[in-house]
Chain A
Amino acid sequence: MWRYLINRFLLMIPTLLGVAIIIFLLLRVIPGDVVEAKFMSGEGSGVSNEVLAAERARLGLDKPVWEQFAIWIWGVARFDFGISMWTGGPISEEIALRFALSLQVALMATIVATLLALPLGVIAALKQDTWVDYAVRVFSIAGLAMPSFWLGILMILGFLIFFKWVPPMVYTPFWIDPWQNMVQLVWPALAVGYRYSAVATRMTRSSMLEVLREDYIRTARAKGLWLKLILVRHALKNAMLPVVTVIGLEFAFLLGGLVVTEQVFNLNGLGLLFVQAITRRDYTLTQALVLLVAAAFIFVNFAMDVMYAWLDPRIRFR
């Protein structure tokens, strides 16, 4: 068990290194660099080539690619991500607050999704092909069909029209004013969580249906257990494995991928930062963001492995 987990953990290092190399090279393949983006935007105003060259030298862009990479990766190894090529501010500061916000929304959306998906999926499976099942399926299909940013716009409009109220548009960190923070973030979390729950509900339903047909469920019934105990003790734990996968991957995806929904709720999260960093060719910031999201994916995968091991002894004892 421990060996398995340590193995999984150590595997994170080569994976991240691979991501680092790929993103580093990809960025340099894209035409243009930060200096061009900064000085030559618009009408390509009269900045001389000497100024551009001096600026490139200042940012270290004149060095050979391999040297740039070595400098960068050496910093990363010491958790020093350098400074943003665009703003000049330390990258860790640029990211910290936005990451906190995106992480919080992602976590809250995950909680919303899980609280919706598990009960709904289980009920739909139990009442398969009845109106309850159809209602749950319509509800979850609707969640898949509605983009969360659109649902967010509807929410805001609804609040405005019916309550003459709009969620706060300025971000307050949780540790400063938890109430104010929740009042702002609970809406994007609901909008995103609903959509997210749709996939998880359907997965829970089908996984539960599959498990309920298993021989060991028949054994449990033959023992004379009540339905509730069969569900909770015998079925749920088995049915959870694929659901954990769906929830985990979606969570990792949320961390970096909420560009439009963040706009709707005026949230300054990672999504927006990502778009800005790439359009500005801010190499260092983009690299740091990609690494962060990759690390989040890998970490979530690791957490899922731990969860599998907890759920399934056949993995634990391997």
Chain B
Amino acid sequence: MTDVAADTLLDVRDLRTEFATSHGVVRAVDGVSWDVRAGETVALVGESGCGKSVSALSIMGLVARPAGRVVGGEIWFKGRDLLKLSEDEMRDIRGREIAMVFQEPMTSLNPVLTVGRQITEACEIHLGYTPTQAHARAVEVLGFVGIPDGARRLKQYPHQFSGGMRQRLMIAIALSCRPDLILADEPTTALDVTIQAQILDLMKDLSRQFGTANLIITHNLGVVARYADRVNVMYAGKIVERGTAREIYANPRHPYTLGLLRSVPRLDEPKRARLDPIQGQPPDLTRLPPGCAFAPRCAFAIDRCRAEVPPLTSVGGAHQSACWVADSLPGVAAKPVAEQVPA
């Protein structure tokens, strides 16, 4: 792995999280390393079940017990290994220094508490605000996330807000204690397409405005291209490719990334271009094949792929790929060449 840069905020090293199921142990996250620098937006990309959400929950110490367990690795955050902290110490970090935005805005807010109560409680606990101060802060963060008339809206309940508005509320809650890092787990998946862009733009703006780093977990490479600085692509609990958003988008060096890119519509392509889904199903994590986990679905697989797990190696600077045939993959150029990706 690359040396830790001076401004590294979160440094996940060789994280391993397992779940005990009736079919055996599932290695949901299997030796994954990545980092987030201060103020940066990093994406964790992959299909459902690849371990991206579990990675985030591991950082927060919220992996569902007793089935789930972090069994190895280190999570360095501002000079401390989060995995070594006590529950009390973790509680001070959650919401205060690392906040989380969840996938389902419809069910992630408590239906029987006012929105105000749900925004102010974190400030009251972490920052020692009085109810008046917390209320003022809540009005302020509602303004940040584009909800006007905060004083009135705070008295309302979640069901009086639309899906997109609720996700704004979740972001407001996350922002309320001025955290250094926001983990956003599929923040737009449950929303209308038109709203998705608004929410992501908002997160990007807020990140610039307050210097908050974002980790965006998504299965949508379109999101990645527009909003992330760096990208980690996960498959079956491992990182299979990483690099800057531009490298990943324009020059994918792993067949899985390539498949992902070909399976989503791109605005920069002629309308007729056919979408090309990835064949097969994500693997059963209790019975992974001996070699590369993607090999059974991979059009480029050679014998070595089925025998040996490919390590994550550089394919040019910080751009890394875990593929034996990384150098001989076709470009996305099998289709019309992508225009430059807006940063």
Q: Residues of A at under 8 Å CB distance from B?
A: 214-216, 218-226, 229, 233-234, 237-238, 311-314, 317
15 other A-B residue contacts (CB within 8 Å) besides A216-B111, A224-B90, A314-B111? A216-B107, A216-B108, A216-B109, A216-B110, A223-B94, A223-B173, A224-B91, A224-B93, A225-B95, A225-B121, A225-B122, A226-B125, A234-B113, A313-B112, A317-B157
A98 to B100, CA, bound (A): 59
Complex interface: chain B residues within 8 A of A312 (CB): 111-112
* Prevailing SS type, chain A contact patch: helix
Interface string of B263-279 (1 = CB under 8 A from A): 00000000000000000
Give chain B's interface residue range (CB within 8 Å of chain A). 20 to 34
Q: List 18 A-B contacts (CB under 8 A).
A: A215-B107, A215-B108, A218-B62, A219-B110, A219-B170, A219-B173, A221-B94, A222-B94, A222-B99, A223-B122, A224-B122, A224-B126, A226-B91, A233-B117, A233-B121, A313-B157, A313-B159, A317-B159
Shortest Cβ distance from A213 into B: residue: B64
A311 to B157, CA, bound (A): 12
A215 to B102, CA, bound (A): 8
Nearest 8 interchain pairs by C-beta? A224-B94, A224-B95, A223-B95, A313-B157, A215-B107, A216-B110, A222-B100, A215-B108
Complex interface: chain A residues within 8 A of B178 (CB): none
Interface string of B149-166 (1 = CB under 8 A from A): 000000001011000000
Complex interface: chain B residues within 8 A of A222 (CB): 60, 62, 94-95, 99-100, 102
Q: Residues of B at under 8 Å CB distance from A?
A: 60, 62, 90-96, 99-100, 102, 104, 107-114, 117, 121-122, 125-126, 157, 159-160, 170, 173
Complex interface: chain B residues within 8 A of A313 (CB): 111-112, 114, 157, 159
Shortest Cβ distance from A219 into B: residue: B108
Shortest Cβ distance from A235 into B: residue: B110
A317 to B161, CA, bound (A): 13
Shortest Cβ distance from B66 into A: residue: A129
A201 to B90, CA, bound (A): 32
Out of A214, A311, A317, which one reaches B107, CB within 8 Å?
A214
Complex interface: chain A residues within 8 A of B60 (CB): 222
Complex interface: chain B residues within 8 A of A221 (CB): 62, 94
Shortest Cβ distance from B90 into A: residue: A224
Complex interface: chain A residues within 8 A of B104 (CB): 215
A232 to B290, CA, bound (A): 49
Complex interface: chain B residues within 8 A of A216 (CB): 107-111
A113 to B111, CA, bound (A): 27
Whether B110 lies near A238 (C-beta < 8 A) is yes
A229 to B94, CA, bound (A): 15
Q: How far is the CB of A21 from the nearest CB of chain B, in Å?
A: 40
Whether B102 lies near A219 (C-beta < 8 A) is yes
A208 to B108, CA, bound (A): 17
Which of A214, A220, A223, A233 has most B Cβ within 10 Å?
Answer: A223
Complex interface: chain A residues within 8 A of B100 (CB): 219, 222
